[in-house]
A and B are shown apart, each in its own frame.
Chain A
Amino acid sequence: MAKYIDELTYDFARTVTPPVRETRIGVCSAYCGGCGQLTRDVKAGCAQLQSRKFAQSGGCQLNLALGIVSSFTNVVVIVHSPLGCSSNFLGSGGLRKTMRASKGKPAEEFIWLHTNMTEVDVIHGGLDKLRRAILYAETRYHPEAIIVANGCVPGIIGDDIDSLASELDGRISAKIVPVHCEGLKSRYVASGYDSAYHALLRHLADPIQEYGQVFPDEGRDALKRYNISRTVNIFNVGSNSSGDEAELSRIVASLGLIPRVLPLHASLDDLARIGEAALNVSICATHDDYLLGHLKERFGIPYIIDTLPIGIRSTNQWVREIAKFFGLEEEAERVIELENTQLQEALKPFRAVLEGKSVYVGGGELRILTTADFFARDLGMKLTGIKAHNVDRFVEDIIDDLFDPNLQITVAAGQPAEELNLLKKLKPDLYCGHGGANGWSSRLGIPSIPLYGQTLNYMGYLGAYELARKAAKALKNTNFSRNISRNVGLPLSKAWFESDTSDNIKQSELAG
């Protein structure tokens, strides 16, 4: 079966700014209906033209781009914008610390700067401040790279951060890496991944220069070539845990291959060696098709962008795809049989508790689809509905293959008002959702488990076990959400709860 990704081209790395997802892929961000109708409407292109009357705040692509580039080791991040656009670092700086610790990386203080653009800078431009900030970062912290992310204001007024980067290039020792991630440019936050990877591709992926050897060592060279021919780059995402990375590495290693996890939390040296692999494997097309597509153009490394290895079926499929590439099908079947037998046995006590219980899953498209499939297929739970933040053509086959065409699906980034309206009617026994959504479900009295978490495991076989364990654990005591719902109100009106969610969706006057 031809995959959607094969229709795409990856030749944007020479341009200063990346295209946004709206133009590159086409995205549906507002929908309410059945799974079958949605994929038909996405194929026809009309689902992508819908928007909503009452809108609630989703994400900003700057946040997602910063999440990636700020994870690199020994970098200073400068946000070129008015003060608010770096302010999430105030809350997330500690998470970076704990994530590094969980990966066994040495502690490192995260430094970010802010150009603090004011009304005066809006008129005169803010490049002088940015120049001073870059020089401050260089002289004070000597980072390997200074990453400059621009927000909406410099984007609108036309501050040219790239020419400033060229001006300073070579005059300071740090690499200057401009990231174009103005929130305004895209309603599809995943554009931020492309923005970050565009910067990585242009500035951080150059291979380390090899010098001729005084004493040639053919054995060593052959070993290096062999290692590269067995190396699999696994591309991590901001929402996975170190435990997930360890588990996926374990599975890849069990095939006799060499796993390497990139690019989040990597050093610049790791990134410069990104091309030293036989295969690039995605765990989420939403995150990294842009990076993997371009790495193929650049280094000729093939990629697998297929599914997210959550749940038994998806993990099996992920393993088979990798094995097929290396001609390791038999080994893969042996691994799968062993893992599946052990896991099915281990899941029994949880299945006994969860079978027949109803569940609603909301969040990023690939994660909810694979998670919901696991709940239904392997734990015997009843799906009452699913909600995807966005839907693009990467997942149309997955939806068609895995789900009842009549299953209720909404497409909404956040939008808790719509979701709570549905949940109040569907009354699932359990909710599994994205950060920022679970608290609203608690206020409605529905117990929840998070869809992802930095310290929680979801991926591979061990992750599937953890996910089932978490779901069963949540049902051992549901008093928290019960007490909250009885004592803490929701801001939504009676009229809203009586309305039909699909009435809030409208045809957009302009796409986007």
Chain B
Amino acid sequence: MTDFIERAKFACALGGAISTLEGLHHVVPIIHAAGGCANYLSNTYNVAAGYRGVGYCGGTMLSTSNIAENNVVFGGEGRLAEQIESTLFALDGDLYVVVTGCQVEIIGDDAVAVANRFKDRNVIGVSTPGFRGNALKGYDAVMNALVENVIEPAAAREEKTVNLFGVVPGQDVFFKGNLDQLKILLAKIGVKANTFFATGDTVADIRGYGSAALSAVLSPAAGLDPAERLCARAGIPYVNAELPIGPSGTESFLRQIGGALNVDPALIEAVIAAEKAEYYSFLERIVDIYADLDFQRYAIVAADSYYAHAITRFLANDLGWIPHLVAVNDIEEEDEQKLYAARFDDISSAAKPRVIFEQNAGLLLEHVRNSWPRNNNGKYYDALSPAYVVGSVIESSLAEKLGAGFLSVAFPVTNRVVLSKGYVGFRGALTFVEDLLTNLVSAR
């Protein structure tokens, strides 16, 4: 059962749908809802995803049917048809996608049917009312619509090609940098990555994704549904994978994807060896300061399931930090929680993290306090220190209270500007280390 949430780190399904569409090149969203929804929800990700901006056609530029109370009484389908027609006149796009808000769904408008009347002019429709759930549900709905209306099932397979699902624009603040890096990384083992949202991806490219040999779902909470549908529709099998951050994660990711696509294991191992050598040639630079100033930290990670384990594994298995507490904010079902917690069996440090599932941001402080013996005015106290919080910007106050270092990675991120940066692979992990440690020396 869902309950209220204190400081939820998501917009609604419509917000996720808009953010996803804004991530697609030359795609024009048409929002069938009250006039404020589109700009409001777009603005959530425009600001809170590291100042991502409105992109090609977002923010105040978003086309909307601007439904008001009279339409609730009389229905808004006529108004939507007029808005689609005028949008086709005013805005250039390779694809137009009608998405819906709560109001029109409750009154029973069939927006998808209206959109289908314009099918021959590159218009598709998908139902995305906010009450359907969080932004990840909106991502899934839009991706499902792409699978069913845009991606063309192909007879011939491109053997070494993988479709990547689960990287949600905006909800992953670093989505573009991460996907760009994944493309480069997979190309090194001869695999072509179909990424939807990376630099240079177009609608024409997406139409051809039906010939891929594999889909990989990089999030436990998003992307599975469209991957399954693509499997049913085009016969493309899928695997559950994880966002690879740093040597440990990237090695197993390359072996998993390469293995599934029958890449020569010798090539995979050669690439890993070369990449790892390069990674450590740079990491070597911080060895002295790490050792001299004792940069080993107790790590507290507060993130969605997409980032939580990926980050923790890097901090513990690669950087040698002590994984203390991991708070995951987007898995509600108990079975899925157990499954996710089991991922942490691969943490190789002597100290193992406590993994909790907590949606209410304000309760994290209490979880931290309960995770460690209190100082009862003793002269000697083994404190949870030095600590470092990797979370969203909401956890900055937690870090302040704990006197801990802090880096915002999970959504929302408003205390730094993100452009092309990403944290995946070997290269991304170097950037991650730069950002983590910069915060420890930035006051100098």
Residues of A within 8 A of B (CB): 53-63, 78, 81-94, 109, 111-122, 129-130, 132-133, 136, 140-141, 151-153, 156-157, 183-187, 189, 414-417, 436-437, 439-440, 489, 491-493, 495-496, 504, 510, 512
Contact = CB atoms under 8 A, between A and B. Distances in A.
Given A118-B133, A512-B70, A57 B64 contact: yes
A85 B56 CA distance: 24
B149 interface: no
Contacts of B135: 83
Contacts of B68: 184-187, 512
Nearest to A62: B36
B435 interface: no
A185 B36 contact: no
21 contacts: A54-B90, A60-B39, A61-B36, A63-B40, A83-B11, A83-B12, A88-B40, A94-B415, A111-B6, A112-B7, A118-B132, A119-B131, A122-B102, A152-B34, A153-B131, A183-B36, A186-B68, A491-B61, A492-B90, A493-B89, A504-B86
Given A87-B11, A91-B48, A491-B61, A54 B83 contact: yes
Contact of B35 (A60, A93, A119, A157): A60
B60 A56 contact: yes
B216 interface: no
Nearest to B14: A84
Contact of A184 (B9, B34, B87): B34
A181 B124 CA distance: 32
Nearest to A152: B103
B69 A512 contact: yes
Contact of A414 (B39, B86, B107): B39
Interface in B377-424: 393-394, 397, 411-412, 414-415
B39 A184 contact: no
Contact of B4 (A114, A119, A415, A437): A114
B41 A55 contact: no
B6 A113 contact: yes
Contact of B34 (A92, A183, A491): A183
A75 to B, nearest CB: 14
A105 to B, nearest CB: 16
- Residue among A87, A136, A414, A495 with max Cβ neighbours from chain B (10 Å): A87
B131 A417 contact: no
Interface residues of B, number: 76
A440 B394 CA distance: 30
Given A109-B397, A152-B34, A92 B4 contact: no
A113 B53 CA distance: 26
B15 A87 contact: yes
Contacts of A81: 130
- Residue among B14, B86, B107 with max Cβ neighbours from chain A (10 Å): B86
A415 B60 contact: yes
Contact of A187 (B43, B47, B66): B66
Contacts of A84: 11-15, 37, 40-41, 44, 130
Interface in B159-179: none
B75 interface: no
B8 interface: yes
Nearest to B412: A90
Interface string B95-139: 000000111001100000000000000000000011111110000
B410 to A, nearest CB: 11
Contact of B91 (A86, A88, A492): A492
B63 interface: yes
A132 B4 contact: yes
A489 B94 CA distance: 14
Contacts of A512: 68-70
Contact of B42 (A57, A78, A184): A57
B184 interface: no
A93 B361 CA distance: 14
A119 B2 CA distance: 11
Contacts of B269: none
Contacts of A504: 86
Interface string B19-52: 0000000001001001111111111101110000
Contact of B47 (A56, A91, A189, A416): A91
Nearest to B393: A94
Contacts of B82: 53
A120 B145 CA distance: 24
B273 interface: no
A96 to B, nearest CB: 11
Contacts of A491: 28, 56-57, 61, 91-93
Nearest to B46: A91
Given A414-B60, A512-B70, A83 B4 contact: no
- Residue among B2, B59, B60, B86 with max Cβ neighbours from chain A (10 Å): B60
B340 interface: no
A78 B5 CA distance: 10
A493 B15 CA distance: 26
Given A55-B64, A84-B14, A114-B4, 12 more contacts: A53-B82, A54-B83, A57-B40, A85-B40, A94-B415, A111-B6, A116-B4, A118-B132, A140-B362, A157-B106, A439-B59, A496-B89
B230 interface: no
A118 B44 contact: no
B362 A83 contact: no
B75 to A, nearest CB: 12
B32 to A, nearest CB: 11
A156 B72 contact: yes
A492 to B, nearest CB: 6
A130 B83 CA distance: 36
B62 interface: yes
Interface string B65-85: 111111010000000001100
A388 B318 CA distance: 56
A188 to B, nearest CB: 10
B54 interface: yes
B414 A57 contact: no
Contacts of A496: 89-91
- Residue among A84, A184, A492, A495 with max Cβ neighbours from chain B (10 Å): A84
Given A57-B60, A60-B37, A118 B83 contact: no
Contacts of B63: 54-57
Contacts of A111: 6-7, 362
A185 B69 contact: yes
A113 B5 CA distance: 6
List 6 tightest A-B contacts by C-beta distance, closest first.
Answer: A60-B36, A91-B47, A84-B12, A57-B38, A82-B130, A54-B86
B276 to A, nearest CB: 37
A85 B60 contact: no
A58 B4 contact: no
Contacts of A493: 89-92
Contacts of A90: 9, 11, 44, 47-48, 394, 411-412, 414
Given A121-B131, A491-B61, A87 B12 contact: yes
A58 B33 CA distance: 12
A70 to B, nearest CB: 12
B279 interface: no
A59 B44 contact: no
Contacts of B344: none
Nearest to A417: B90
A504 B89 CA distance: 11
Nearest to B83: A55
Contact of A57 (B28, B37, B53, B87): B37
Contacts of B72: 156, 184
Contacts of A440: 60-61
Nearest to A512: B68
A120 B133 CA distance: 11
Given A417-B90, A491-B92, A118 B60 contact: no
A342 B135 CA distance: 54
Contact of B36 (A58, A78, A86): A58
A137 to B, nearest CB: 8
Nearest to B44: A87
A248 to B, nearest CB: 28
